[in-house]
Amino acid sequence: TLLRATARPGGYSVISGSQPPGVPRDFAAQLAASMPESRVVLDTSGTALVQAVSHPIPGLEVLRVDGEEAEGLAGRSLASRAETADFAQELVRRGVARMVVVARGADGNVLADAERRLFAKAPKVTLKSAVGAGDSFVAAFVLGLARGEGPGRALAFGSASAAAAVITDATQLCRAEDVLRLLPQAEVSEV
């Protein structure tokens, strides 16, 4: 009831993180169903991720996974950007989400929807801690979409934010000035 009351029609809602023990396998689907007019972004792992892929959540806007999770779901190596884009687009065509984003670590991020396959290069930085990189990506990506940016620009914004997060200590998030400095390096191209 609280989620239904606070979710804005047409706005974005993010379901993120691991599920604690004892939570139903379809908990993400239950949360999404409680926000029927919201564009839901899912970034989870383990059983919850497998459940969301094997039993798609109706109307899911974005599914974000990392490369290892994508390979586990695919049951094969996704060594190239093209293989990653093929798999992401396969998930879209199966109705898992309208867009699928796969993080390829220091290489960058792949996004696929029904019509396009994009890659945003990861800016080259010196790694301090990978803690928070995925969360920073999702936050910036969703912010870009919410501001009306196209998927390519939102993907670049997310990639720059993830890179900005890894240059900070594990106790800090990315800094806006670092994101803006790194954004030109998050070049987007078609796959």
Whether 141 and 12 have beta carbons less than 8 Å apart is answered as no
Instruction: Give me the catalytic one of 43, 66, 113, 135.
Output: 135
Cα–Cα distance measured from residue 82 to residue 129, given in angstroms and rounded to the nearest whole number = 28
Whether 139 and 174 have beta carbons less than 8 Å apart is answered as no
The full length of the chain comes to: 191
Q: Is 135 a catalytic residue?
A: yes
Cα–Cα distance measured from residue 19 to residue 156, given in angstroms and rounded to the nearest whole number = 28
Look at the block and give the residue holding tokens 């691991």: 18
- Burial class from Cβ neighbours inside 10 Å (0-12, 13-18, 19+) for residue 58 reads exposed
Cα–Cα distance measured from residue 70 to residue 180, given in angstroms and rounded to the nearest whole number = 29
Please give the positions annotated as active site: 135
